[in-house]
Amino acid sequence: MRRKVIAGNWKMNMLPDETITYIDKLAELVKDTESEVILCVPYTDLFYALLTAQNTNIKIGAQNMHFEEKGAYTGEVSPKMLKSINVEYVIIGHSERRQYFNETDEAVNKKIKSAFEYGLKPIVCVGETLEQRESGKTTEVITKQTELALQGLTAEQVENTIIAYEPIWAIGTGKTATSEDANNSIKDIRNKIAQNYGQNVADRVIIQYGGSVKAKNAKELFSMSDIDGGLVGGASLDVQEFSNIVNYNK
């Protein structure tokens, strides 16, 4: 059976002192969970988060990285830099990066390969816009994004990639996909992975749902057959709310 992975994406929020207070509190609140708990924090919080999360079951991730190891890329952070301070996860291809920073499927693919090269575990985001959904293109869009993101990876790497299905229209809007719709879209992604990498890989790959996940809808979403947890934005900024999401089955 696949494990549940529940990750917070703080986006551009939280300062170091808030990070320390939050993680100290979260550690206590989620110490008994069987789910994997990850917090993806801004670069400036990473070091504090890693120190505070030591000896807890909370894992720390970044929200983006460059695919090159080093070089003249002002303002960028490399996978080697993240690895050097023991960051474990990295979100790749979040829709906000695709939308506001022109991140392409090609760049997403390069970043995933590079993450593996440097020993980081990627959390790869895919999802359709409202317009694509309304014109009946959801399956086509999300399976294509998945295919392009994973192109050239080994089956083992695909198995170790976390995919986050995040319908763009559900992000930060308070609108969630129904649990059936989210589950069906995730099944579509899983079927595409089965086609390309075999059923065993598809059965093992973790696919999360993201988009207005809250404590009040987490149980219903995470109980679906193919939804292996969530990538949580806004609701992860409140430690009590996020811990309730992690403890959805309690």
- Determine phi and psi for 198, rounding to 5 degrees: 100, 155
Q: Residue 9 interacts with ligand 13P (CB under 6 A)?
A: yes
Least distance (Å) from ligand 13P to the CB of residue 200? Answer: 28
Q: Is 210 in the site for ligand 13P (CB under 6 A)?
A: yes
Residue 180 annotated to the active site: no
- Cβ-closest position to ligand 13P: 233
**Which residues lie below 8 Å from residue 132, measured CB to CB, with a gap of 6+?**
138, 141
Q: Does 171 bind ligand 13P (CB under 6 A)?
A: yes
Catalytic residue among 94, 103, 128, 159: 94
Active site residue 66: no
Check residue 145 for interaction with ligand 13P (CB under 6 A).
no
Given a contact cutoff of 8 angstroms between Cβ atoms, the answer to whether 233 and 198 are in contact is: no
Task: Please tell me whether residue 166 binds ligand 13P under the rule CB under 6 A.
Answer: yes
Provide the minimum distance between the beta carbon of 70 and ligand 13P in the complex, in angstroms, as a whole number. Answer: 27
Amino acid at 36: E
Query: H/E/C letters for each residue in 28-78?
Result: HHCCCCCCEEEEECCHHHHHHHHHHHCCCCEEEEECCCCCCCCCCCCCCCC
Measure the CA–CA gap between 73 and 41, rounded to whole angstroms. Answer: 21
Q: Footprint of ligand 13P on this chain (CB under 6 A)?
A: 9, 94, 166, 171-172, 210-213, 231-235
The residues annotated as belonging to the active site are 94, 166
